[in-house]
Amino acid sequence: MSASRLNLAELDLSELETALEARGCERFHARQLYRWVYRRGVVDFGKMTDLSKELRSRLAMEFDAVTPVVASDVTSIDGTRKFALELSDRRRIEAVFIPDTPAMTFCISTQVGCAMGCGFCLTGKMGLVRNLTAGESAGQVRVLAAATGMLDHPFNIVLMGMGEPLHNYANTMKALRILHSEHGLAVSPRRVTLSTVGIVPGLERLAHEPLMPNLAISLHATSEAQRSELVPPNRKYPLADILEACRRFPLKKRSRITFEYVMLDRVNDTPEDARRLARLLSGIRAKVNLIPLNPAPGIPYDRPSDARVDQFAQILADRHLTVSVRKSRGQDIRAACGQLIVEGGVKKSAAQQMALLMQS
Ligand code: SAH
Ligand code: SF4
């Protein structure tokens, strides 16, 4: 790969048009290139048969389309497929295909590792290695859609893989722009859910985005003290401020904010926690997604019994909240929430992680 070639996977449609023009090519070829790369999964210019031979060789000299490479692809007994994808610097990320949820869903990563350090999450244990570029985030969808035969089908995207999307704001939003192009995969923002621990300035920026995804807030606790312990960024962006930002968030008609709540046995799963949660969410168009912990070695918490989860859910339902309990998918292949980690990731101390967070 020549360093002088421009990686078109990092360009949104208008940037690609400008780049083509600057190289003496017609702007309209950008749409054709988008169709090949995103709708047909073809990145080899030689195979783009509706372009003249001359243009194809010219493009091959000027551009490339860097694409994550499937390093492994494992299918769980429940049909969930976990992909390990290798990036151009040999770092690895994970992305998951979850069929029948009821829609087809791709769960993609936004960072290699994560700086937030939540105590129950394996990705958090890695620390932040680096941000993904926009092309790498969008590239996961391109690669998974091609590998699962979904290029011509509607699918949902959840930003719930490795990383904190609002800690890599600009690249994540650019990836959504690239995926939204009608000449490419044409993914509507209504089909995208961004899950975040609640970086308040990021939430405020998101509220003004023209392409606004659905919002999921990882809450996990009902008091500032407990949340600061489980979700360290709460020390900088407290629960009260996050809920305030949620109250102001401009929701579309009939849409609601999802509040995710990882249930840790006898830590945050008492009836009192459930009652407090209902009180905190009053006045917000909310639904709650309970996620019984996916336990893992090195995670100092347990999964509560089904009876405790049901009791918690019932208390919320009695207070007129819509509640769902997340079925754990792909646990046998470690593709479930919080179980995405790539061995050998750079481990940072909790202090280093907090320092990184504070700089952002
Ligand atoms: N960083 C973002 C998105 C990725 S994590 C966020 O935290 O929202 C996606 C979801 O998986 C979050 O709700 C997270 O709390 C949850 N999760 C993390 N570790 C988990 C575990 N061990 N068991 C169950 N859910 C977990
Ligand atoms: Fe990062 Fe989300 Fe894991 Fe927390 S739960 S460490 S924010 S990936």
One DSSP character per residue, 175-212 reads HHHHHH-TTTT---GGGEEEEES--HHHHHHHTT-SSP
Average pLDDT over residues 209-232: 97
62 in active site: no
Average pLDDT over residues 189-211: 97
What's the alpha-carbon Rg for the chain, to the nearest Å?
21
* Backbone conformation region of residue 85, classed left if phi is above 0, alpha if psi is from -120 to 50, else beta: beta
Per-residue pLDDT tens digits for 52-106: 999 999 999 999 999 999 999 999 988 899 999 999 999 999 999 999 767 899 9
**pLDDT level of residue 256 (50, 70, 90 thresholds):** very high
CA of 27 to the centre of ligand 2 (A): 41
User: Does pLDDT of 38 surpass 70?
Assistant: yes
pLDDT of residue 355: 37
CA of 334 to the centre of ligand 2 (A): 16
Catalytic residue (one of 10, 17, 94, 136): 94
* Backbone conformation region of residue 299, classed left if phi is above 0, alpha if psi is from -120 to 50, else beta: beta
pTM of the model: 0.92
Could you identify the atom of ligand 1 that is nearest to the CA of residue 161? 4
When comparing pLDDT for 101 and 196, which is higher? 196
Contact 96, 336 (CB under 8 A): no
Per-residue pLDDT tens digits for 139-184: 999 999 999 999 999 999 999 999 999 999 999 999 999 999 999 9
Give the contacts of 172 (CB within 8 A, at least 6 positions apart). Answer: 110, 134, 137, 159, 165, 166, 194
What is the bridge-based pairing of β-strands 6-7 and 63-64?
A: parallel
User: Does pLDDT of 353 surpass 70?
Assistant: no
Q: Whose CA is nearest to atom 4 of ligand 1?
A: 160
Closest ligand to Cα 233:
2
Site to substitute for ligand 1 among 262, 269, 293, 294, most atoms within 8 A of C-beta: 262
Site to substitute for ligand 1 among 214, 218, 234, most atoms within 8 A of C-beta: 218
User: Does pLDDT of 360 surpass 50?
Assistant: no
Q: What is the DSSP letter of 262?
A: E
64 within ligand 2 shell (Cβ under 6 A): no
User: Does pLDDT of 327 surpass 80?
Assistant: no
How far is the C-alpha of 299 from the C-alpha of 119, rounded, in Å? 7
pLDDT of residue 30: 98
**pLDDT level of residue 340 (50, 70, 90 thresholds):** low
Which amino acid, one-letter code, is at 260? E
Give the contacts of 293 (CB within 8 A, at least 6 positions apart). Answer: 120, 262, 263, 264, 265, 299, 301, 302, 303, 304, 338
pLDDT of residue 347: 37
337 in active site: yes
